[in-house]
Amino acid sequence: MHDVDFSVYPNEVVALVGGNGAGKSTLLEHLNATLVPDDGELVVEGTPVTEDNRQHARKEVGFVFQDADTQLVAPTVLDDVLFGLQNYGVPDSDTQERAREALATVDASHLEDRVPHYLSGGEKRLVGLAGVLVLEPSVVVLDEPLAGLDPERSQLIADRITQIHEEGISVVLSTHDLEFAAEVADRVCVMADGNIVGSGTPQTVFYDDVLLENANLHPPSAVRIAREAGLTPTAQPVTEADLISLLTASAEEEASQRTVQDKR
């Protein structure tokens, strides 16, 4: 990575997109000081992070790994979620209740006695998220949160991201799924060759053909369909839901014009 200037503001969802090897995971791993820059500065909640105070960044920035096995270490799911709390010295009297609440927020209460290693990929991702949320971080970082998930689990993760956002926590995620980025992100950053080459709202980024082409990305299907259907001079839908409401509104408009003509 070189010359990267990246900030996360309170209560926003940022999606990092870019081709394989663009540097998304590397940038994310700097956010909680898993990696510390050789040159330059990482500041978390006003405190510069150094080799000696990584713990501050770890506490404020919760990281959900793509490979959840990296994260899940205890004999049961509940123990795993408790582990972080105990590590940060939270009194034992509070920990069980907080851990169970965290599992409930990701719909994973039924997994609490299971052995983490034998969970499915999607279940591991949810438990990893619970283990992060229980520590009440300011920022949650998710590396490829949908990788290997079925549509139902993907929607669950998307819903949880929206919920975390509504609770005032910032979210930074990396993804190859631009439809998902369009659905959840306030801001999209495009990465290529170890740098951020463009950023903006999903509309700004996903209608910028030159930027997407330079980063080897294809626009989300809603953007392609809107263009093919000639809708883009007046609207810039980026999600399927945007497109459906636009097409519905335009069909209703057409129907009402036809009724007026018929009456004449």
Q: Is 153 in the site for ligand ATP (CB under 6 A)?
A: no
Q: In angstroms, what is the minimal distance from the CB of 216 to ligand ATP?
A: 11
Give the residue, chosen from 3, 5, 7, 20, that forms a contact with ligand ATP under the rule CB under 6 A. 20
Please give the Cα distance from 3 to 40 (Å, whole number): 9
**Could you tell me if 16 and 27 are in contact, meaning their C-beta atoms sit under 8 angstroms apart?**
yes
Q: Is 154 in the site for ligand ATP (CB under 6 A)?
A: no
- The type of residue at 73 is V
4 secondary structure, DSSP code: -
Instruction: Using the rule CB under 6 A, give the single segment among 23-31, 47-55, 98-106, 134-142 that binds ligand ATP.
Output: 23-31
Q: In angstroms, what is the minimal distance from the CB of 29 to ligand ATP?
A: 8
Q: Is 22 in the site for ligand ATP (CB under 6 A)?
A: yes
13: phi then psi, degrees, rounded to nearest 5: -110, 120
Looking only at residues 156 through 175 of this chain, which bind ligand ATP when binding is defined by CB under 6 A?
Answer: 174
Please give the Cα distance from 188 to 82 (Å, whole number): 33
Please give the Cα distance from 246 to 236 (Å, whole number): 10
Q: In angstroms, what is the minimal distance from the CB of 219 to ligand ATP?
A: 18
Instruction: Using the rule CB under 6 A, give the single segment among 19-27, 110-118, 197-205, 256-264 that binds ligand ATP.
Output: 19-27
Residue closer to ligand ATP by CB (options 57, 196) is 196
**Could you tell me if 194 and 23 are in contact, meaning their C-beta atoms sit under 8 angstroms apart?**
yes
Residue closer to ligand ATP by CB (options 215, 238) is 215
Give the residue, chosen from 18, 62, 84, 116, that forms a contact with ligand ATP under the rule CB under 6 A. 18
How many chain residues touch ligand ATP (CB under 6 A)? 9
- The type of residue at 245 is S
Long-range CB contacts (< 8 A, 24+ apart) of 84-88? 84/131, 84/132, 84/134, 84/135, 85/134, 85/135, 88/59, 88/135
Q: Is 141 in the site for ligand ATP (CB under 6 A)?
A: no
Q: In angstroms, what is the minimal distance from the CB of 198 to ligand ATP?
A: 15
Q: Is 219 in the site for ligand ATP (CB under 6 A)?
A: no
Please give the Cα distance from 41 to 49 (Å, whole number): 7
Q: Is 26 in the site for ligand ATP (CB under 6 A)?
A: yes
Report in angstroms the alpha-carbon separations of 38 from 2, 42, 55, 56, 72: 10, 11, 18, 19, 29
Q: If you search the block for the tokens 């009456």, which residue do you land on?
A: 263
Q: In angstroms, what is the minimal distance from the CB of 22 to ligand ATP?
A: 4
The residues that touch ligand ATP, with contacts defined as CB under 6 A, are 18, 20-26, 174
